Amino acid sequence: MLKPSIVKELKNIVGPDYLSTLPEDMVAYSYDATQREVLPWAVARPASAQEVSEILRLANRELFPVVPRGAGTGMSGGSVPVHGGLVLSLERMNRILEIDDDNQFCTIGGNVAECAGGLRAVKYGVTKDYVLGLEVVLPTGEIIRTGARTAKSVAGYDLTKLIVGSEGTLGVATTVILRLLPLPESVRTISAFFSTIEGAASAVAKIIASRIIPRALEFVDRHALRAVENYLKEDIAGGAAAMLLVEVDGAADSTARESERIAEIMTQAGALHVKKAETDAEREQLWKARRSISPALYTIKPKKVNEDIVVPRSRIPDILREIEEIAKRYDLLIVNFGHAGDGNIHTNIMIDEADKPRAESAVKEIFEATLRMGGSISGEHGIGLSKAAYLPMEVGPAALAAMKHIKQALDPNNILNPGKIFVECQENSKF
């Protein structure tokens, strides 16, 4: 626990209204979407980089852990305070400081720690592709600025890319300079259902090969479809084994041509039926099944192990077949959906307490199969707590050592978000 003198200093830094040790607040900041829960010792809500700097300098002096936290929606345990300590909530740092229309840049406070992806990454990329510069408070309290407000900058090491995706272990981003894009003139949405996974995967490959780059290209397997149908009480798929949801954007004439071509490709690939949204209401209806998956899965079993593997797009059928064999071998229900356009599949092992040991073995085999196919064990959720034991499977010893050297150089006392990414940090932490 934090000494009363430290609590007093923290209150002096952020103000008494923004430092809490109340039990109910400790519970509220103790978990993320992984459902792992560890109570912190206190919660601070700073409003400036200077306040963050003073907190981290105090933490280095008194040697207590600090865990940065945004909204607490992470899927790998990155914001769980596994060693207690102080949760550093950035919720007050939410102002738009400037919008620069001429250069299409803006500066906002935000959370780039996970290098998040999402539905539109297939066309627009992920967070790191839009972060031009940062104001960062290093673990020892120094405030630095990285990158530039320009489209190009190669002045020294790319510290911006180092911080983006570092899961709150190398610094706390207090200002983010982002590249902006204009909104598209037109959006078209098409869905299709297939009798086999192979048919859906073939359609994905043919869409990409046609030189059409959709802004979203989503895949849903039969288990997810059945769960959604049970949840919504609707026959959405008519017994189909897979669903594709495709969206294109751009100029109106271009999206009209592309949507027609995509519908043709999916029909030729064996789609049972294809539907094109003609209105905003129809578009929302097509997205309804995809957006209902997460709540629907909890109607199957009370818990799930959610992984976010990535394979080359051409290997999607192979990894899905492998996962199906693993599910049979361990007598588990594994539900797959996700971003087929960039090969990022969300693999959900539905479990109760009795299933946990088998699920852990299944996860290891899924990761092994993913790496054999030239993939990655995490596309957008990060390593955090849940994948730390598996990181050495993907990165070699020399690369892993280099990562640890960087952490040690920037955070010599292992103050900032200890216990994440590296198993050794979990096992050998001083906290």
Quick: pLDDT tens for 279-295: 999 999 899 989 999 89
Whether 288 and 312 share a structural domain: no
In sign, the C-alpha dihedral spanning 62, 401, 423, 310 is positive
* 227 inside domain: yes
Residue after which a domain boundary falls, among 91, 108, 131: 91
* 410 inside domain: no
Mean pLDDT of the chain: 91
Residue after which a domain boundary falls, among 267, 294, 321: 294
Q: Which are the contacts of 221, defined by CB distance < 8 A and separation ≥ 6?
A: 197, 241, 242, 320, 335, 336, 337
Supply the pLDDT for residue 111.
60
Residue 218 identity (one-letter amino acid)? E
* 414 inside domain: no
Average pLDDT over residues 316-345: 94
Three-state DSSP class for 376? strand
Residue after which a domain boundary falls, among 294, 318, 341: 294
Contact 65, 110 (CB under 8 A): no
Number of domain units in the chain: 4
Task: Tell me whether residue 319 is exposed, middle or buried, using C-beta atoms within 10 angstroms of its C-beta: 0 to 12, 13 to 18, 19 or more.
Answer: buried
| Strand pairing category for 303-310 and 333-339 | unpaired
Whether 225 and 314 share a structural domain: no
| Strand pairing category for 86-89 and 66-69 | parallel
* 154 inside domain: yes
Read off the pLDDT band of 259 (50, 70, 90): very high
CA distance 280 to 283: 5
pLDDT digits (tens, 9 = 90+) for 380-393: 889 999 999 999 99
- CA atoms within a 13 Å half-sphere pointing along the CA-CB vector of 36: 18
Q: Which are the contacts of 10, defined by CB distance < 8 A and separation ≥ 6?
A: 2, 19, 42, 44, 55, 58, 86
- Helix (H) or strand (E) holding 392, with range, is helix 391-394
Whether 274 and 345 share a structural domain: no
Whether 272 and 193 share a structural domain: yes
pLDDT digits (tens, 9 = 90+) for 72-81: 878 888 889 9
- CA atoms within a 13 Å half-sphere pointing along the CA-CB vector of 239: 0
Whether 109 and 162 share a structural domain: yes
Read off the pLDDT band of 427 (50, 70, 90): low
CA 412 to chain centre: 27
Whether 277 and 354 share a structural domain: no
In the predicted structure, residue 110 carries a pLDDT above the cut 50:
no
Contact 187, 247 (CB under 8 A): yes
CA distance 160 to 105: 16
Three-state DSSP class for 62? helix
* 162 inside domain: yes
Whether 289 and 198 share a structural domain: yes
CA distance 197 to 222: 9
Whether 157 and 205 share a structural domain: no
Instruction: Go through 203-225 and write b for each residue having 16 or more CB atoms within 10 A of its CB, e for each that does not.
Output: bbbbbbeeebbbbbbbbbbbbbb
Whether 41 and 72 share a structural domain: yes
Whether 103 and 18 share a structural domain: no
The token pair that represents 256 in the structure block: 């009209």
In sign, the C-alpha dihedral spanning 231, 237, 239, 241 is negative
* 145 inside domain: yes
In the predicted structure, residue 62 carries a pLDDT above the cut 50:
yes
Read off the pLDDT band of 314 (50, 70, 90): confident
CA 221 to chain centre: 21
pLDDT digits (tens, 9 = 90+) for 135-163: 999 999 999 999 988 778 888 999 999 99
* 55 inside domain: yes
Domain of residue 350 covers 301-386
Whether 201 and 282 share a structural domain: yes
CATH number of the CATH domain containing 355: 3.30.70.2740
Cα–Cα distances in angstroms (integers) from residue 378 to residues 13, 41, 309, 357, 420, in the given order: 37, 30, 5, 21, 14
* 75 inside domain: yes
CATH number of the CATH domain containing 15: 3.30.43.10
CATH number of the CATH domain containing 190: 3.30.70.2190
CA distance 109 to 281: 33
Whether 195 and 278 share a structural domain: yes
